[in-house]
Structure 1
Amino acid sequence: MTHYEKQIYHRISRFVPENSVHLAFALWKESPFRFVIAKARNSKLGDFRKKPGEDWAIITVNENLNPYSFLLTYVHEVAHHRTYEKHKGRVSPHGKEWKNTFIDLMLPFQTAEIFPEDVLKALNRYMQNPKAASLSDIQLAKALKGYDPANPDEISLLELRQGQQFTLENRIFEKHETRRTRVRCKEVRSGKFYLVHKMAMIIPE
């Protein structure tokens, strides 16, 4: 193993479940990419980018995810990488080509040795027809959230009643109508509206 491969292996091993490290590293080694651990972002858990003229694609995953969420996000983005390599951007980002690739890549990870029983049950159901965002599946999102570090002051936005105010990223918002996966929220200070994922963890006022 080269020095750079050891770096990537160590980087992966810090964030994914212990029994998944070798499988996760194998995905990288089969088709390498720049792997970046990103700071927490509310807008996304991870992303895939391929810039013109660059030899390697870039995959980022948020550093604040629990090991099971991190692994799922990592494989989700690797599936984008593999789909891009094969189709060169000629297919829909979350179309059938990506979906089939994601299903194939996730299958070896879907074991009780890697995921807890409650997460595995929700994950197996979700992977029958995976969507663009794993958190759009409420049962899977709840199961994954159960393994986040505990903060007794936080609840999910879904649990808050409409019209109630809450704090998110040191800003105060008011909850308005709920859409399919997101909630329309007004920032109290500016009066501007934002869409916040219904499973976002917030602090009620």
Structure 2
Amino acid sequence: MSVSVLEKFLPENALPYLKIWFGSYPCHLKITKNRNSKLGDYRKLPDKSHQITVNGTLEPQLFFFVLTHELAHLIAFEKYGRRISPHGAEWKQTFREMLLESLTVYAEDLRPIIQKFSKSPKANFMASPDLVKYFHVPDEDELLYLENLIVGDVFVLENKVFVIEETTKKRYLCRNLKSGLKYKVNILARVKKMDNHYEK
């Protein structure tokens, strides 16, 4: 895929950065349908070329952010060799430099969040509450972040009903009301709160 084809998925002024970053590296770039499990993916192929996939349904700024994340893998592997850790120090440094280099591509209210994130880039987008909240605009279904609920609150996630039993900093211990099984759920999961409340 030509880099120029990406333009319709990108925020304004992003394309010049991608042309520099892709350079002459052999890379297969695929735009995919929405995937709930991941926003993007990078693979080093056996023939020493690279493959990057990004969800085509992402908002332009998030698309560019995810593509930058995946491209940082490509550039780090090319620069430091194949033995580096996928999300190790070399990748973090590469990703940090790319984010700061392209900071003006992002909206003014997003730039401080990107700058903060770049100080210690995370492997998982969900590990950055500020970014998750910025890109997840409340919708008509009245979905809430799990962190907005308390112990005893009942909620629906992926068509299953749970009750919160314990709260921690990053994950809540929740019990499936039908099976009785307990799960640790990320506090940034988007859930629908039910009216009933359970007391221990």
With the shorter chain as reference, the TM-score category is 0.7 to 0.9
Q: CA deviation at 1:153?
A: 1.5
Alpha-carbon separation, structure 2, partners of 1:193 and 1:39: 31
> What's the offset of the Cα at 1:26?
4.0
Residue of structure 1 equivalent to 2:197: none
Question: Conserved in 1, the CA contact under 8 Å of 2:32 and 2:56?
Answer: yes
- Partner of 2:13, secondary structure, is helix
Offset, 1:149: 7.2
Q: Which residue of the other structure, out of 115, 121, 129, is the alignment partner of 1:124?
A: 115
Equivalent of residue 198 in structure 1, options 184, 187, 198: 187
Question: Structure 1 62/108 Cα, relative in aligned 2: closer, same or farther at 3 Å?
Answer: same
Q: 1:92 aligns with which of 65, 70, 85?
A: 85
Q: Tell me which stretches of 4 or more aligned residues in structure 1 moved more than 6 Å.
A: none
Assess if the C-alpha contact under 8 Å between 1:119 and 1:144 holds in 2.
Answer: no
- 8 Å Cα contact 1:157-1:200 kept in structure 2: yes
Which protein is bigger by CA-based radius of gyration?
2
Q: Show structure 2 runs of 5+ residues with no match.
A: 195-200
Distance 1:66 1:196, change over 3 A: farther
What is the aligned-residue identity percentage? 34
> Secondary structure in 1 aligned to 2:164?
strand
- Could you say if the C-alpha distance between residues 74 and 179 of structure 1 is closer, same or farther in structure 2, counting changes exceeding 3 Å? farther
Q: Distance in 1 between matches of 2:36 and 2:113?
A: 23
Letter in 1 for 2:22: W
Trace 1:6-21 onto structure 2 (pairs within 5 A): 8-10=3-5, 12-21=6-15
Counting strand residues as a fraction of each chain, which structure ranks higher?
Answer: 2
Give the secondary structure class of the aligned counterpart of 2:87.
Answer: coil
Q: Aligned in 2, Cα 1:17/1:173: closer, same or farther, shift over 3 Å? A: farther
Tell me the equivalent position of 2:40: 46
Q: Where do residues 59-98 of structure 1 align in structure 2 (5 Å cutoff)?
A: 59-98=52-91
d(CA) in 1 for partners of 2:155, 2:121: 31
Deviation at 1:188, TM superposition (A): 3.4
What residue is the counterpart of 1:56 in the other structure?
A: 49
- One-letter code of the match for 1:131? K
Structure 1 residues without counterparts, runs of 5 or longer: none
Partner of 1:186: 175
Following the alignment from structure 1 to structure 2, what is the Cα–Cα distance between the partners of residues 178 and 61? 33
Query: Which residue identity does 2:172 align to in structure 1?
Result: V
Q: Is 1:173 the counterpart of 2:162 in the alignment?
A: yes
Residues in 2 aligned to 1:64 and 1:194: alpha-carbon distance in whole angstroms: 29
Tell me how far apart the structure 2 counterparts of residues 194 and 142 of structure 1 sit (CA, whole Å).
23
